[in-house]
Structure 1
């Protein structure tokens, strides 16, 4: 599980590096279907938690603090929706199916592009308009919600901060119980 201290930029950038490391492992595991399934589950768990946290706290702060932040946040949320749709498809596809590699490649490309945009556009703007205290406060909230966030993609859940904050604890609990029963996400 991703866990670290610091401001929102440090927390999310660390998540990004950890996801990239999992992607590299996935790319090197072609041919080992069981390992690919476990790694895919692991990356989905982490990215769902990460996305819920961003939608609950990062994007509302983007809207509030950055001039033109609504457009920036809307684009990021649309990218999350696409990644979530691909995650759901990956969950339903067997790693031995030829479609799996194609889906995985599209998914990784989508996430990598999202990370590039966030780190090169959103984060620098946020640093420009938010004080250090606020950046740390958002980082703390993000770390807290990731502990209770869902672990599975839920594309039907509305992409808005209030729905995310209200539904995350219950949906997250159900997901974690399902994970415990099935052993999903355990190495």
Structure 2
């Protein structure tokens, strides 16, 4: 069993490592390396954000007095990061609107948005650990890891994120994403409990 705070830290550490790998791969030398590293980062980040939305935000709503404000703040930051991930994926796969964008600009935006989300997640985990018993924090950590594995593999910033509609939509898109990954031959490494724990 891993506590929520340590699972979030492990996930965030993995995301930063994968981002560094994606950024460091040279464009001209073996382009397939960059594509694989970029896809690995995109998948892991998308799955983590979805899992935090599904597991952490409901706990925040139940246990923190300013839950509405902090949930909205997190969702705004998460959607901003998802939009940056969409741009990175579009740039990677040669979408016409993003050809003129420099990779440095794209990765800078992703890095800034990831850092903003990380600050909010750490704060939420700290505040929840002050309100909940350790056993509940461990249960939430285990749930976060399990939920990440079955979350969507592509960012969907314009779909609902909260409530029953958000859960249903993410469940449907999770399956659809895996079908598209298969069609495109997109080989990725999901954010696994072994890697995160």
1:124 alignment partner in structure 2: 126
Q: C-alpha offsets along residues 18-42 of structure 1, whole Å, 9 cap, x if unaligned?
A: 0111122123224344322221211
Distance 1:183 1:53 in 2: 24
Distance 1:129 1:49 in 2: 26
CA contact (8 A) 1:55 1:164 kept: no
Q: CA deviation at 1:49?
A: 0.8
Question: TM-score when scaled to structure 2?
Answer: 0.83
Q: C-alpha offsets along residues 78-120 of structure 1, whole Å, 9 cap, x if unaligned?
A: 001101111112111147845133112101111022213322x
Structure 1 pair 153/143, CA: closer, same or farther in 2 (3 Å)? same
CA contact (8 A) 1:48 1:153 kept: yes
CA RMSD, Structure 1 to Structure 2 (Å): 2.0
Q: C-alpha offsets along residues 123-147 of structure 1, whole Å, 9 cap, x if unaligned?
A: 2111101111211222232223222
2:195 alignment partner in structure 1: none
Structure 1 pair 76/159, CA: closer, same or farther in 2 (3 Å)? same
The secondary structure found in structure 2 opposite 1:135 is: helix
2:110 alignment partner in structure 1: 107
Following superposition, which runs of at least 4 residues in structure 1 exceed 6 angstroms of deviation? none
The secondary structure found in structure 2 opposite 1:93 is: helix
Q: 2:87 aligns with which of 86, 89, 99?
A: 89
Distance 1:24 1:138 in 2: 28
1:10 alignment partner in structure 2: 6
Question: TM-score when scaled to structure 1?
Answer: 0.87
Q: C-alpha offsets along residues 131-182 of structure 1, whole Å, 9 cap, x if unaligned?
A: 1121122223222322221101112211214233222332111111211222
Structure 1 pair 58/186, CA: closer, same or farther in 2 (3 Å)? closer
CA contact (8 A) 2:79 2:157 kept: yes
Number of matched residues? Answer: 182
For structure 2, which runs of at least 5 residues remain unmatched after alignment? 190-197
